[in-house]
Amino acid sequence: MLKAGRTFSFNAVAACAALALMVVLGGGYAIQAQYLISTRAGFVNRVEGRVYIERQESESGERGRASLGTQMKEGDRLITDRESKAEILLNPGAYLRLASQTEIRAITTVYDETRFEIVKGSVIVEVGELMKNTVIELQTPSGLISIGKTGLQRINVSGDATIIEVRQGEIGLGSRDRLLAKRAPKIKSGRMIRLEGQNTETIAALPEAAKISKDAPVDDLDYWSFTRGQALMAANGRVLQRTSLRSAMGLGWYYDPFFNCYTFIPGGGGFYSPYGFPFFRRYADFRWAFPWGIPYYWYDPIWNNNDGRGGVIGGGGGGVGTPRTRVIAGTERTGIRREIESRGLVVGGNDGFSRMGGAARGGASPGFSTAAPVSTGTVTSAPSAPAAGSSGGGTVSVGGRPGRP
């Protein structure tokens, strides 16, 4: 079966990048997927609405429109406007998602020393895989916080106040060095704290942490982050489908033109994301998990009444369960994971969603492949940016059914 998280060394990423280069330069393998070689975090993978980038070298504070393929450099700021959102790639397998009216600043974009400042607004950090001894640092008004494990966290910054919600995993208070030295107080899964006028580097003991209510109402950012999680899962399957290889693909970011974004191919046989969505590196494993095609879930707050009960909404050729609010928020992933493992999945026929083909049910469950990584990706820079205002890969209508996740 799949595991919830794995760790890998940076050498694995470099090896995959080198192998991809060999393919392009004459390795003789079929080239069917675009492979992104980058050793820096801060690559813009998705925008919704108006998202701007302010370059550090801009003397007048001039801002340009950010889109798919925009690479943040150290000192750059990314700003979302009203009713706008953005997703950037961090370390391989990790994402930072911005709510509307949010601003972040890139401090260090090198993978081994990733650090971003949350200037204002709300962000969600989803970490499906993280390389060994790799830590993601986030600067807040109360100092540094550090993420060294897989999980899902939300950070809200308003003025001098910082609210940290650890929905899965854990967060250490203080710097990377403090966390690796095991001296950082940790906020555990299911807990949240508020910091104001404190310095995380000098906090010796964890402040009183409140318990997160699993069935608390979700907002636009929670819903959007959830739909991004399942879109990346679907893109993972489409990339694997185009290769149709029995052997495993190499770890890294691969571009899917249908969803118009980069998705992640894991270093092991596969893993479950914090939302419960599976990611694979072999198409055969993906077909086993989804013998009838890729389902998708949508959330209607009116239908759910924000009470966390969930329900079923009919559509297309069949109904797919609308998840409980705790699943949308990421405080629970077992529901979707259990449903996927049982393979009792239904796909609507009229929603425009791609079917993957009719793999027979039964057989061995997908496990971690021991085959040597085989890259089929073209080494490339970011694809052409979509037209201004284009989100790429489908749209999301909050409060209703999305066109695609």
Structural domain boundaries in the chain: 40-211, 220-380
Q: Which amino acid is at 289?
A: A
Class of domain 40-211: mainly beta
**Alpha helices of 181-276 — where are they, by DSSP H?**
220-243
Token pair belonging to 231? 């879109």
Q: What is the pLDDT of residue 244?
A: 65
pLDDT per position as a tens digit, 41-92: 999 999 999 999 999 998 888 999 999 999 999 999 999 999 999 999 999 8
- 94-114 burial code (b ≥16 CB/10 A, e <16): bbbbbbbebbbbbbebebeeb
Alpha carbon separation from 405 to 233, 272, 301, 401 (Å, rounded): 10, 18, 16, 9
Of residues 364 and 260, which shows the higher confidence score?
A: 260
Q: Which amino acid is at 222?
A: D
Of residues 282 and 14, which shows the higher confidence score?
A: 282
Percent of the residues in the chain that have a pLDDT greater than 70, as a whole number? 66
Q: Which of 220-229, 322-331, 351-360 has the lowest mean pLDDT?
A: 351-360
d(CA 324, CA 338): 14
d(CA 43, CA 101): 19
Percent of the residues in the chain that have a pLDDT greater than 90, as a whole number? 48
d(CA 199, CA 208): 15
Please say whether the beta carbons of 76 and 53 come within 8 A.
yes
Of residues 381 and 276, which shows the higher confidence score?
A: 276
Q: What is the pLDDT of residue 346?
A: 35
Q: Which amino acid is at 329?
A: A
d(CA 250, CA 238): 15
Q: What is the pLDDT of residue 164?
A: 97
From the CB of residue 401, how many other CB atoms can be counted at a distance below 10 Å? Answer: 14
d(CA 354, CA 144): 43
Residue 165's SS3 state is strand
Beta bridge partners of 195: 162
**Alpha helices of 118-216 — where are they, by DSSP H?**
176-180
Q: How confident is the model at residue 137 (pLDDT cuts 50, 70, 90)?
A: very high
Instruction: Write the DSSP symbol of residue 21.
Output: H
pLDDT per position as a tens digit, 241-294: 887 666 678 888 999 999 999 999 998 778 899 998 999 998 888 888 787 777
Please say whether the beta carbons of 95 and 123 come within 8 A.
no
Instruction: Write the DSSP symbol of residue 23.
Output: I
Q: Which of 5-19, 245-259, 318-332, 356-370 has the lowest mean pLDDT?
A: 356-370
Residue 86's SS3 state is strand
Residue 49's SS3 state is coil
On the question of pLDDT at 134 being above 50, the answer is: yes
pLDDT per position as a tens digit, 166-224: 999 999 999 999 999 999 999 999 999 999 988 999 999 988 899 999 888 899 999 99
Q: What is the pLDDT of residue 297?
A: 65
